Amino acid sequence: MPRRAPQGTQAVQRALGLLRSFTPEAPEHRLSELAAAHGLHPSTAHRLLGVLEAEGLIGRSPDSQAYRWMPGAPGAGDAAPSPRYNGLRPLEPLRTPFHRRTAALCESGAWRDWSGYTCVETYEPTPEREYWAVRNAAGLIDVSPLFKYEITGADAVRLLDRMMTRDFSKSQTGRVMYTSWCNEDGHLLQDGNVQRLARERFLVSAAEPCLRWFEDCGWGMDVEVRDVSEEIGVLALQGPRARAVAEAATTGLDFGAMRYFDLAAGEVGSGAGGAPVTVTRTGYTGDLGYEFWVAAEHAEALWDALVEAGRDHGLLPAGLLALDMVRVEAGLVLIDVDYVSASHAEIEVLKATPAEAGLGFTVKLDKQADFVGRRALVLERDRGPAWAMVGLEVDWFELERLWSEIDLRPQVVGQPASRKPTPVFAPGGWQVGQCTSRFFSPLLKKYVGLATVHADAAALGTELDVEVAVGYGRRRARARVVRRPFFNPARKTAVDPMPGVDE
Amino acid sequence: MTDAIVVGAGHNGLVAAAYLARAGLDVVVLESSPEIGGATRSQEAFPGFRFSVFSYLVSLLRPEVIHELDLVRHGLLLVPTASTLNPLPGGDCLFREADPQRTYRHIARHSRRDAEALFEYKLEMRRMGHLMYRLQRAAPDELAAAIGDRVAESAEHLDVEVSAEVADIARYFLDLPAERLRGFVQMLTMSSADFLGQWFESDVLKAALSSSSIIGSMLSPRTPGSAYVLLHHYMGEVDGVYREWGFQKGGTGAVAATIARAAQSHGAEIRTHSPVARVLVSDRRAAGVVLANGDELRAGVVMSSAAPQISLGRLLDPEDVPGGAGAGLVERAARWQSGGCAGKVNLAISGLPRFECMPEPGPHLSGGITIAPGLDYVDRAYDDAKYGGFSERPFIDMIIPSVLDPDMAPPGKHVLSCFVQYAPYELAAGSWDEGQREAFGDAVVRTLAEYAPGIEDQILHRQVLVPPDIEAIAGIPGGNIFHGELRLSQLFLLRPDPAAAAFRTPLPGYYLCGSSTQFGGGISGGPARLAALRVLDDLRTADTAGGGSAEAP
Ligand SMILES: Cc1cc2nc3c(=O)[nH]c(=O)nc-3n(C[C@H](O)[C@H](O)[C@H](O)COP(=O)(O)OP(=O)(O)OC[C@H]3O[C@@H](n4cnc5c(N)ncnc54)[C@H](O)[C@@H]3O)c2cc1C
């Protein structure tokens, strides 16, 4: 419903609207023009502008014929991201609560849209250092654009158990569960993490909006679903030094006792009285790491504490390109890249069941509660999934062979992970699937990719051909089906992880 | 010797002529008015200001027509209109942009559930549009036969010969999942408000989406049947993307000009100032036409793109129609529902309008802007017309052509195209005289000023057109923009008449090819293409049968 201003606040709104008209781009305005632009009677506009002037928020042009922008005046349009829109309108590009910090560090100017938020793609012109920070020291990644839903009420467990493929009767307070959720046909809608914050309070994080689905599944239950996406900022601290940095940046948390997928509450900063923060031992990198969930108003304090603590540990802020590289190494699938959500797929063949998307391990067919999609998934179990998500690996010599055809050394380094699907063939034969994420891992020194292939081409060790670009040409590289994750250090899940493990 | 005559040089008449000429026929197009284009004409109404007089956006134009007639080479240039702004009272708005993320955020302000539902809704509507696309590509009689027969499970004993393509469509249709068929039936029968109510909770979004369900129709979003009109508009596509709209450089008149050039490049002749009085019959088949001035022009094939009241009424002498079918045909044509409901107000303005919700220039000005702030609002606008008045606070669908194409107005100045509902063909009190026209124009400007204060002072010139003007200028009786309401009673096998639903009429050699046939109205070229292909097919059949000229069975 359109929000109507209560009586009396209208003048404040109007004054703010007028104030926002003054920007560096449009510093001067005449009374008549402002009145027309804001739909105000000139005498009303005159009165409001008079107050703004008296308060030192705007000035007069030298000939005093017009009102003028005052640089630095609080509230003036210089802080408004776009002069194009009325400041009261919701059309500014969305910023995460860490934006002021990330923007100050983004030397490359490379931004990318993520769920409507402007996010850093790489801080430096190339993502290499950020990538290596995650694998070798620690990387700090702003993942706030995730959608977050708080599920509360006596039936919270019941709702989750009905929607989700995992068994929520087994969920424990202080633990996080990674799960899939499907439509009635057993086709995957999304995958995401569910934190159990209290007996009757959960937080679901998801890549795409799903409030409506959750509410509809909870029809008639004693449960409330609330979209808290914009209220919570999220930072992922990932890499072998993550524990050391996390420990130095927070108070009241026992990182030694925190197991993989545990969750705990503490405070930001080294002394008592810092902002409350929830920490989960989770991440999208396949490495040792933690994610920090903080109220938006305390986001900058959290960022500052982590950056400060990370100074001696080689911490770097890392952008989305580095994140995409490490998540492929970790063999983690990405919605709408490696599988198409059933809520987006226009035709049936694009849809996937959890098993087909490599998420079969999240489906608990024998759990007590009936869940959405179960019937179809039982049938699939009996029949066997038609497709399988596999890891593909192309070794170095194969790359050398391909590039030697055009008299070059392999040209594979320095390219971010590609999300463009490319065909996968039976050796020398027909297409059997597609490779949806791939890149040359400088850590593993292999070309690795995630691919969906016919179930009968999915056995470990199967040889397949994958199309690669060699110069201007397209060649088939011989690949092997290998175990995922491609990279799986012991520190990721180690109890009481210490620096040096796996390093 | 002329092989074929096409009555009417609206875009459909021109498409039909182009297809026939392309196949090697000697074609003459006869247009009564001094200009071609019909409802798609553009005009420099005031010096320096070009108006797309009636129709304003292109989406329904069939890709087959674009490519087969090579329209890009002949001047087709569609600039996308990527967004839709619905200004709301109090400086609020609903904005839908090309970027789905931003659209999500805009709608989430009104309802988060709806913001999510919109994407599923669009997906489902694209599927529906695709279904319609498959259905509309086939001639209706063949399709009905194929489907009917499949249902009867006697595919081997078809009475009507069907092409492989039609059989394929029939199979496609019958193999649809149950929920899609259910949706299709809902679309044919429900009101758009009820249909949208199944998806959405916020009134502003429902009202915004319902706009396409009333365009050109004397329906409220709450009238059963309006959901079909919604679907009709989802059939449109630009380059395979359903539901995209584009603005033709120079206005929609340039679409007609483009098709005319394509037709002429194949040798078709186009004569304006040539009203046709009736179809000439000899030997119980069409043999040409008689012009209003008494001239006769002979040809073995006559196609008419005019509305049924003309094509099946005025142009036909019931006595001439074989089998005594004439009287019924003419009588039914007179009862064809095609009252106008929409007016057009074209404004020349001194600068860009400043919408209270988004006062500064921006991408919102290059998209559609619709005044439909709530379902009640639109329903009330309809109520005015139901009782024979024009809407005091009308529904307005607006674009600013000069933002999309600077050639439309002098630099710095603009033209504003307002498609306005509702304006009935006949007023209950008085008639559409100058005073009523101006009062209607004033209501539009007054309504605009509620959302774009100051616009009344920016207006330099104003052109107000109401259904009788559409009738007089574009030659559409009643002024209905689609040549007849798009409702179940006038669709598929009933469009425009059970005896003339497949482009053929009971008079051999005489065909229909305008908006009142399969595919319906809008700038699509779809009916004319199918009709022309039907003519060519009949000519071939007659040839092999030793005839030599068109012989309908
Ligand atoms: C105000 C308005 C806005 C519209 N907006 C849009 C829009 O934005 N997008 C869209 O896709 N569609 C729109 N439409 C609909 C679309 O313009 C029409 O459906 C389409 O142009 C009709 O084309 P047609 O060739 O079938 O018929 P017409 O364009 O009506 O052409 C028929 C021609 O036949 C001529 N004729 C009639 N009788 C005779 C005779 N006896 N002898 C000789 N010639 C004769 C007429 O003069 C006319 O030129 C709009 C229509 C109107 C009126």
Q: Where are the beta strands (DSSP E) in A99-218?
A: 110-114, 117-122, 138-142, 147-152, 176-182, 188-198, 201-206
**Cβ–Cβ below 8 Å for B90 and A4:** yes
User: What is the per-residue pLDDT for A339?
Assistant: 97
Would you say residue A225 has pLDDT above 90?
yes
Amino acid A25 reads E
Q: Is B119 on the interface with A (CB under 8 A)?
A: yes
Render pLDDT for B373-411 as a digit per residue (tens, 0 to 9). Answer: 999 999 999 999 999 999 999 999 999 999 999 999 999
Q: What stretch of H or E contains A389? A: strand A387-394
Select the residue of B101, B106, B360 nearest A90 (Cβ to Cβ).
B106
Select the residue of A89, A209, A227 nearest B358 (Cβ to Cβ).
A89
Tally Cβ neighbours within 10 Å of residue B173.
Answer: 18
Residue ranges making up the domain that contains B28: 4-40+252-337+478-544
Mean pLDDT of B317-342: 92
Backbone Cα Rg of chain B: 23
Going from the Cα of B271 to the center of ligand 1, the distance in angstroms, rounded, reads 17
Q: How many residues does chain A have?
A: 503
How close does chain A come to B182, measured CA to CA in Å?
Answer: 18
Select the residue of B101, B106, B113 nearest A215 (Cβ to Cβ).
B113
Higher pLDDT, A81 or B110: B110
Q: How many domains does chain B have?
A: 1
CA gap A53, A56 in Å, rounded: 5
Mean pLDDT of B8-24: 98
Q: Edge-to-edge, what's the strand order for the sheet holding A232-238?
A: A250-251, A263-268, A276-280, A289-295, A232-238, A138-142, A315-317
Q: Is residue B23 part of a domain?
A: yes
User: What is the per-residue pLDDT for A20?
Assistant: 84
Q: Is B89 on the interface with A (CB under 8 A)?
A: yes
Q: What structural domains does chain A harbor? A: 10-79 (1.10.10.10), 99-145+231-318 (3.30.1360.120), 386-503 (2.40.30.110)
Q: Is residue B244 part of a domain?
A: no
Q: Is B127 on the interface with A (CB under 8 A)?
A: yes
Q: Is residue B500 part of a domain?
A: yes
Select the residue of B101, B356, B454 nearest A113 (Cβ to Cβ).
B101
Q: Can you give the CATH number for the domain in which B304 is found? A: 3.50.50.60
Strand partners, A476: A467
**Cβ–Cβ below 8 Å for A346 and B126:** yes
Q: What is each CA distance from B421 to A59, A170, B19, B190, in whole angstroms?
A: 47, 59, 35, 21
Strand partners, B291: B276
Q: Is B358 on the interface with A (CB under 8 A)?
A: yes
Higher pLDDT, B56 or B177: B56
For residue B123, list chain A residues with Cβ-Cβ distance below 8 A: 343-344, 346
Q: Is B106 on the interface with A (CB under 8 A)?
A: yes
DSSP category for residue A86? -
Q: Is residue B482 part of a domain?
A: yes
For residue A210, list chain B residues with Cβ-Cβ distance below 8 A: 116
For residue B99, list chain A residues with Cβ-Cβ distance below 8 A: 113, 116
For residue A386, give the nearest of A293, A464, A454 by alpha carbon: A454
Going from the Cα of B220 to the center of ligand 1, the distance in angstroms, rounded, reads 23
Q: Is residue B516 part of a domain?
A: yes
Tally Cβ neighbours within 10 Å of residue B342.
Answer: 27
For residue B128, list chain A residues with Cβ-Cβ distance below 8 A: none
User: What is the per-residue pLDDT for A83?
Assistant: 40
Render pLDDT for A387-425 as a digit per residue (tens, 0 to 9). Answer: 999 999 999 999 999 999 999 999 998 888 999 999 999
At a CB cut-off of 8 Å and minimum separation 6, what does B180 contact? B127, B128, B131
Render pLDDT for A352-382 as a digit per residue (tens, 0 to 9). Answer: 999 999 999 999 999 999 999 999 999 999 9
Q: Is residue B374 part of a domain?
A: no
Q: Are B248 and B255 in contact (CB under 8 A)?
A: yes
For residue A84, list chain B residues with Cβ-Cβ distance below 8 A: 358, 360-362
Mean pLDDT of B198-222: 96
CA gap A393, A255 in Å, rounded: 35
Residues with CB under 6 A from ligand 1: B 7-13, 30-33, 38-40, 54-57, 60, 275-276, 305-306, 310, 342, 344, 419, 470, 474-476, 481-483, 514-515, 521-523
Q: Is B243 on the interface with A (CB under 8 A)?
A: no
Q: Is residue B184 part of a domain?
A: no
- Quote the ipTM score: 0.81
Q: In degrees rounded to 5, what are phi and psi of residue A422? A: -130, 145
Strand partners, B464: B345
Render pLDDT for B290-328 as a digit per residue (tens, 0 to 9). Answer: 999 999 999 999 999 999 999 999 999 999 999 888 899
Q: Is residue B321 part of a domain?
A: yes
For residue B4, give the nearest of B279, B301, B265 by alpha carbon: B301
Q: Are A483 and A389 in contact (CB under 8 A)?
A: no
Q: Are B61 and B523 in contact (CB under 8 A)?
A: yes
